[in-house]
Structure 1
Amino acid sequence: MAQSKPQSLFQEDLSCPICLQLFSEPAMLPCGHNFCASCIEGVIEGEAERGQHTCPECRSDYKGQTALQRNFKLCSIVEGFKVSESASSPVLCDMCLETPDLAVRTCLKCKISMCALHLKPHLEKKYFKSHALVEPTSDLSARKYSKHDEAVKYYCFEDKSCICVSCTIEGEHKNHNVKSFKTTHSEPRIGLESKVKQITEKLKLAGGFLEKARQNETSVKAANAELKQNALELFDNIIQLVNNYKEQVMEKIEAEQCLLVDSLEHSTDKLTEQHHLFKQI
């Protein structure tokens, strides 16, 4: 069922000026303009180096993250609109041949809505990796960039505008500071794979350091064991030398003692003999 013009305009009023989708957790700036919380936080992050934050709509200044206020009223209106829209005009799968099932996602590049079964190739095959998948919608005109008729997937921080892939390659946005919207199912996975790869590389590096430390520890232990063995051998040699010197000294003392005793005995015998001679005279 086609949407009436007032309803289409109402949906445009409830769409984020950055991602052009229905507000998700809308946040309001002091100037009164609303954006998806994740979209405006991405803008704030991109402007962090510059140190100045301006509203993407009216370019009025604000004080970054602290200036954001959750717009609960607008959030309720958006949720109510989603419920009423899904009840009054459900989006059906464009690929079902007989009885179409309810669509779960709409591809902005293929310009078709798909049920869970027909969505699988978009989620599994690399060919569809760059395709932007959004909530089911029958009105794709609001999600196209009029200049190139392509899906809006980037935000230019310098010109404060939403652009497509072609805009980043040619035209006034070439070489500008742009950031991709997180509208595809593959981006979180890519970020996760990148983090896992970084962690794996760090673990490998840490493992190399640990192995090197273990090798150094083994080398130190081997050197200490060799030093200990050399010290023991040195002390054994010293003890052997001392014992040998001790034996030699004792043998010399005993030899000199024997000579001294023999000399004394000889002298005593001579004195005794002379004594007898004196007695006979």
Structure 2
Amino acid sequence: MEASATKTAMVPPGNALALGFTGTLGNIDSYISAVNRLPMLTHEEEMSLARRLRDQNDLGAAQGMVLSHLRLVVSIARGYLGYGLPHADLIQEGNIGLMKAVKRFDPDQGVRLVSYAMHWIKAEMHEYILKNWRLVKVATTKAQRKLFFNLRSHKVGLDSMTPAQVDALALVLNVKREEVVEMETRLSGRDIALEAPTDDEDDKFAPIAYLSSDRNEPTNVLEALQYDRLQSEGLSQALGKLDDRSRRIVESRWLANDDGSGATLHELAKEFGVSAERIRQIEVVALKKMKGTLTAFE
């Protein structure tokens, strides 16, 4: 956290030094104390700096506007500490939003920078929280993101919400109760490590032990494709090279049912008016011929 705080506190020299802000603070508490001592701008000063930035691209004016509003970022970041993310990182992301706001601020719109900058500061913090709070994203659309933060602020305690609470919150947020239930389920979930703990206990299993699948392994995929090709094109070609009687015997004996329970030698012998031994001989010759065709087909 100290490294992040130092990075957050780094600002260009010049106006910052004149305001007593060294830019090389050692920890987050020192940084917060320093930015809270920076003087705030009057309305006239803010408008003057904003026009200098817009009309003359004066970076010194931009720096003055950013420095005077760093305390706003700290204040907003404090409201997001419940997500378990470093305070310094939240401030750093908020400072990025503040700089974007200063760059886009129009002094002729009739609003103060503090009102305009709040949107940009929160937007950067929200993006950071959604990317880092959970390995798997819990909110991907704009509506889901809004519901995510509203649900966190309205929900009381860690227990699951009752149906009445779900209905009441859905009414307050003007969303469907199914959406509230789904988002609460995402919030209550926890990330699980795929790897097992590094110990010598043999009775502990991690998800990676039973989630792995060889179905999409390249060798297995190629083998499956080859097998399907033999089952379709190869088998059809091999059967096509047999005479009608041999083909009838092979199909009746081996291809009539999936479980392999085909016709018996005696049943086929009766059908063709020959002995069962003759049927067996024809079958052996036919299968040998088919094997040669399939081998060449591969």
Q: Structure 2 length as normaliser, TM-score? A: 0.20
Which structure: larger Rg? 1
Q: Structure 1 length as normaliser, TM-score? A: 0.21
Instruction: Determine which structure has the larger strand proportion and give its number.
Output: 1
Instruction: Determine which structure has the larger helix proportion and give its number.
Output: 2
